Amino acid sequence: MADSCALCKKQLSTVFLDKIKGTYVKINGKHRAVCSSCQKAHKDLKAQF
Ligand SMILES: [Zn+2]
């Protein structure tokens, strides 16, 4: 099951198994998925939440 990006809401494609094209950011104890383009666009990802 693929996650969607917490910022742009796009569905994240998986590379293989559960590896997503993006990253997980831990916000308030929860892991949020963020796609690689949002990751590049925002240097401080945690500030976006
Ligand atoms: Zn995104």
Q: Domain ranges in the chain?
A: 14-48
Cα–ligand 1 centroid distance for 15 (angstroms): 16
17 Cα–ligand 1 center, Å: 20
Residue owning tokens 């094209």? 21
**CA 21 to ligand 1 centroid distance, Å:** 10
Average confidence score pLDDT of the chain? 87
What six digits make up the tokens of 6? 């917490």
* CA distances for 35 relative to 6, 19, 45, angstroms: 8, 12, 11
Say what percent of the chain tops pLDDT 70: 94
The pLDDT tens digits for 18-34 are: 788 889 899 899 999 99
Name the pTM for this structure.
Answer: 0.76
Distance from residue 43's CA to the centre of ligand 1 (Å): 13
Q: Which of the four pLDDT bands, split at 50, 70 and 90, describes residue 2? A: low
